[in-house]
Amino acid sequence: MSASEVTAAAIAARLSAAGLSPRVEEDTQFTTVEAEVPDTLSADSWREVLDAVADADRFGLVATSLNGRTLWAVVRKTVPTTGDVGGPGYQR
């Protein structure tokens, strides 16, 4: 498991421990963790949630009157530093 996958899994586990139901989605360049945030989330749980997403590269909260609140966190995947990074014929 890569470092970014470990970080995303740890964020998801901490969000679960705070009472949320996180979803993890993989992309080629990043991993996203999202969770719906209930209106009834306590102040202590908010602190836990914010501590969890602080380990991400980016995070935020989308709040709408139609869809409620969705917390998101993005962890960038590391880019290989050696090998055929740029494809055939690519030189640094």
Q: What is the mean pLDDT of residues 31-42?
A: 94
Query: What does the mean pLDDT of the chain come to?
Result: 87
Rounded Cα gap, residues 2 and 4, in angstroms: 5
Reported pTM: 0.80
Reduced 3-state DSSP string for 5-61: HHHHHHHHHHHHHCCCCCEEEECCCEEEEEEEECCCCCHHHHHHHHHHHCCCCEEEE
Q: Residue 86: what pLDDT?
A: 54
Q: Residue 10: what pLDDT?
A: 96
Q: Residue 92: what pLDDT?
A: 46
Q: What is the mean pLDDT of residues 56-62?
A: 95
